[in-house]
Amino acid sequence: MENTIEQVKSGMVALVGPPNVGKSTLLNTLLGMKISIVSPKPQTTRNRILGVVNGDDYQIVMLDTPGIHKAHNPLNLEMVKIALDSLADVDVIVFMVDVTMPLPDPKTSTIKHLEGCKTPTVLLINKVDMVDKENLLPIIEAYQKLFDFKTILPVSAMEGDGTDLLIEELCALLPTGPRLYPDDIPTDVTERFIVAEMIREKIFLLTGQEIPYSTAVTIESFKENPNKQIVTIHATIHVERSSQKGIIIGKGGKKLQQIGTAARQEIETLLDQQVLLKLWVKVQKDWTSNPRFLRELGF
């Protein structure tokens, strides 16, 4: 007797929108684990992060993308390109906005990037826990005028409110077919990638002004010692100028120690074992404008 492949609601969903609207928070909430870093600062997400959301009768492969914004330098231009490229070849687009943002301007709204798009698109209005219900209607009406959304859903990505309804709506729009990934794989990114991102997140949270945007993190070595139940990780924090190196290290090395401690605690949760994290800071002059270095970072 032949084995029949299980048929479920299955497909690719691009999660796009302006910076800092909660896309990464939503993905982490849907997965029930953290694979995409989060900070209050815009443009935290730089790469496309893939998360696989599994249910008994569905598999939603969700692409968390960098925020669509007006970009100037090569790094930011590449981030926006990654986001817009994700709109091609997906089954559904989820366009996410923040309820506390100003009402959209038809001329400048990032929604204009959807012009001519035939892919079914759902609008998510996030952070609805921050406004009174009666204030939602004019916001919904303003977005309805800009694009023919399949549906408009208010959600709170942080609280998980409205996410069940989102799953229902996505399943209604997705084709029926086999699962695209084994159901025990939550993402296609490596542990090394997530570890580098966790270190970068702590820099975003613990430093100010332009510092987070001038830093990149690479993992130099990642060695597991099963006998001692410890993972030793060597990572480099790249900055653009010597003055930034001094700020990251801090007086007496305190800032770097603070970043390392916060990152190590989260990495230990991810890997479920003890971690020895060693950080170095290196000046990589004007790396955000260096195409070769951007390629090394995976752009």
pLDDT digits (tens, 9 = 90+) for 5-42: 789 999 999 888 888 899 999 999 999 988 887 887 77
Residue 245 to residue 283: CA distance in whole angstroms: 7
Residue 216 to residue 199: CA distance in whole angstroms: 9
91 and 216 assigned to the same domain: no
**What pLDDT, on the 0 to 100 scale, is given for residue 49?**
85
**What pLDDT, on the 0 to 100 scale, is given for residue 274?**
95
DSSP-based three-state secondary structure for 211 = helix
User: Is residue 41 assigned to a domain?
Assistant: yes
**Is a pLDDT exceeding 50 seen at residue 101?**
yes
User: Is residue 64 assigned to a domain?
Assistant: yes
Least confident among 38-47, 105-114, 145-154: 105-114
46 and 168 assigned to the same domain: yes
Q: Read off the pLDDT band of 1 (50, 70, 90).
A: very low
User: Is residue 185 assigned to a domain?
Assistant: no
**Is a pLDDT exceeding 70 seen at residue 44?**
yes
Catalogue the E-assigned strands of the chain: 8-16, 49-55, 58-64, 92-98, 121-126, 151-154, 176-177, 216-225, 230-239, 274-283
Q: What's the average model confidence in pLDDT over 83-90?
A: 76
Decide which of 123, 149, 177 is a domain's last residue. Answer: 177
Range of the domain at 203: 191-296
Q: What CATH number is attached to the domain comprising 114? A: 3.40.50.300
Pairing of strands 230-239, 274-283: parallel
Which of 49, 73, 139, 92 has its CA nearest to residue 291?
73
38 and 74 assigned to the same domain: yes
Estimate to the nearest angstrom the gap between the alpha carbon of 231 and the chain centroid.
Answer: 25
What percent of the chain shows pLDDT beyond 70?
A: 93
pLDDT digits (tens, 9 = 90+) for 179-208: 999 988 888 888 999 999 999 999 999 998
**Is a pLDDT exceeding 80 seen at residue 270?**
yes
**What pLDDT, on the 0 to 100 scale, is given for residue 298?**
78
Amino acid found at 69: H
Total count of domains within the chain: 2
When mean pLDDT is compared over 104-108, 138-142, 219-223, 288-292, the highest value belongs to 219-223
Q: Read off the pLDDT band of 137 (50, 70, 90).
A: confident
**What pLDDT, on the 0 to 100 scale, is given for residue 288?**
87
Rg value, the chain, Cα: 20
Note the pTM of the prediction, 2 decimals: 0.84
Residue 219 to residue 267: CA distance in whole angstroms: 13
167 and 197 assigned to the same domain: no
94 and 225 assigned to the same domain: no
226 and 285 assigned to the same domain: yes
Q: What CATH number is attached to the domain comprising 270? A: 3.30.300.20
223 and 132 assigned to the same domain: no
Decide which of 120, 149, 177 is a domain's last residue. Answer: 177
User: Is residue 248 assigned to a domain?
Assistant: yes
User: Is residue 3 assigned to a domain?
Assistant: no
Q: Answer yes or no: are the C-beta atoms of 217 and 199 closer than 8 Å.
A: yes
15 and 153 assigned to the same domain: yes
Mean pLDDT of the chain: 88
129 and 32 assigned to the same domain: yes
User: Is residue 71 assigned to a domain?
Assistant: yes
22 and 168 assigned to the same domain: yes
140 and 287 assigned to the same domain: no
117 and 148 assigned to the same domain: yes
